[in-house]
Structure 1
Amino acid sequence: KELEGIDLCLKILTDLGVPFCKTAGKHTIVISLIKTRRALKGMQTKDLSCSPIMANGTRLKAMKMMNALSEKAYWTLPNLFPLIVLKMVRWSVKHGVCKYSAVAFLWYGLLQVAVFGDFKTGREFSKVAWDLQRRLNAKDLFSKMSLIA
């Protein structure tokens, strides 16, 4: 059932113009990480929580779908998970933030700690995530974010 749900989310994302490869390998993850680091280069982490609000309805729908897919992928398709998080972070930087950006920044911070041992960056992104959650009054994401943090 989990894989059916993931396949449905992937189909919807493809229909929205945001395709993901369910069988992506480490090379694809590294490329996505490099793209994300480039997008964040020169930015102050604290400024992310004050970024403009994402206004494009299609992008908002895609962010909502990626948010739903991220936790399913975390447990079921671990190579897909970072690709989702990294795309959400890049979109938040490029197109503005939404309530799902808070979750993406929290996941990104967790990846920084778990994969790279970078506690400073992890803590900074955690703070940005919670600041954004409060700014956007995203009470519905509080439990999910508490579980991640």
Structure 2
Amino acid sequence: RVYSTLIKSLAGESKLQSAIDIGIKVIIDLGVKFPCPPPPKNALKEDMIKLKIKLEKTADAELLNYKEMIDTKIIAAMKFLQILLCATFYFGNQQYFPVLAIQMIRLTLRHGTCKESCVAIACLSFLLSGSGECKASNRIGHLAVLLLEKFKAEEYLPVINIVYINGVHSRTMRLELGMEEALDAYKKGMQVGDIEFAMFNAYLYLMMSFISGQSLVELEMELDVFGKRMVEYKQMTASNMVLVIHCVVSNLITTKDCLSLIASQNEERESMLAHAIEANSYSFICHIYIFGGIEAYIFGKYELAADIALKRQEVEKKMSR
């Protein structure tokens, strides 16, 4: 429990590499092999395809009746792998994300299912969705939900909501329903103590509120409330992501000079971008560019918006998921 708390704390404070190093050491001490450094992308893709074929053909009843994990060391390793998996999903170091998901599913197939299996399977669904495997992604995501329900693993609902329900299933879901799901997952996360993903669901809710055209004045108040709560709980990565949205909303309400997010002289935002670039935090860099492009476009700075979009595409090429 001490290591678990430490890893979560380090990840929440954007000290992900330290969290990963500690987590990998614990996992190896529990007798589970872990590839370090991560295998090349081609090898990971082959592993994902093999798991996709296996799970896609798995019937609901077969999965629900599959043997359950009983080895206490493997169960403990799965818990640590899940913590790292969730951390790498949002906090950065995406090269570890597919490695962790694959490792957890292999352990599940070898030793049996457990609560954490639903998270790993949901993450595979997300990865497949990003590769254009929509049918397989939805099928495998459905299996993740089945395990979530079987084990009554409500503590993982905030994660499943981010990774599968909003990461995959939301493409066919009304935006308003997605907002409700995110807000419910935030409340559930706070209730069960999953502060990290509770706050990311709050961020997701705020992002969708912006996209849906919510009153900017009302949205700014919600951004203030959730932003302060994230700082209070030391969830600085989520806080920074919300701050990016807050800056855009604030500019849309008050700025008359048509300054884009990226071109702005605001030192705090410039500092966030510089830090993200220095840390190779590709997902956060993309997040900044996305909202910077939106702001530039709204203010009629079309060339700047196009330039920002190109920069974002270059960063996305470096991402592992």
TM-score by length of 1: 0.86
Q: Does 1:114 align with 2:130?
A: yes
Contact 1:24 1:79 survives alignment (8 Å): no
The equivalent of 1:148 in structure 2 is 163
Q: Secondary structure at the match of 1:76?
A: coil
Contact 2:86 2:159 survives alignment (8 Å): no
The equivalent of 2:73 in structure 1 is 58
Larger radius of gyration: 2
Match of 2:64 among 49, 55, 59: 49
Amino-acid identity (%): 24
**CA positional deviation for 1:45:** 4.5
Unaligned runs of 5+ in 2: 1-14, 165-321
Contact 1:10 1:20 survives alignment (8 Å): no
The equivalent of 2:100 in structure 1 is 84
Q: Does 1:131 align with 2:140?
A: no
Alpha-carbon deviations, 1:95-149, whole Å to 9, x = none? Answer: 110010001111111111112x111111111111111111101011111111112
**CA positional deviation for 1:24:** 3.7
Q: Secondary structure at the match of 1:55?
A: coil
Letter in 2 for 1:122: S
Runs of 4+ in 1 over 6 A off after TM superposition: none
**CA positional deviation for 1:33:** 3.1
Alpha-carbon deviations, 1:54-89, whole Å to 9, x = none? Answer: 010010001001000012223422221101101111
Distance 2:56 2:142 in 1: 18
Q: Compared with structure 1, are the counterparts of its residues 23 and 127 closer, same or farther at alpha carbon in structure 2 (3 Å cutoff)?
A: closer
Q: Secondary structure at the match of 2:35?
A: coil
Letter in 2 for 1:141: Y
**CA positional deviation for 1:93:** 1.5
Q: Identify which range, 17-26 or 94-103, moves more after superposition.
A: 17-26
TM-score by length of 2: 0.42
Q: Does 1:20 align with 2:57?
A: no
Match of 1:94 among 110, 121, 140: 110
Match of 2:120 among 84, 104, 110: 104
Instruction: Count residues in correspondence.
Output: 147
Distance 2:93 2:59 in 1: 29
The equivalent of 2:83 in structure 1 is 68
Distance 1:137 1:41 in 2: 21
Distance 1:81 1:122 in 2: 16
Letter in 1 for 2:109: V
Distance 2:140 2:94 in 1: 21
Superposed CA RMSD? 2.1
Contact 1:73 1:81 survives alignment (8 Å): yes
Q: Which has the higher contact order (CA 8 A, sep 6+)?
A: 1
Q: Identify which range, 57-66 or 1-10, moves more after superposition.
A: 1-10
Contact 1:48 1:93 survives alignment (8 Å): no
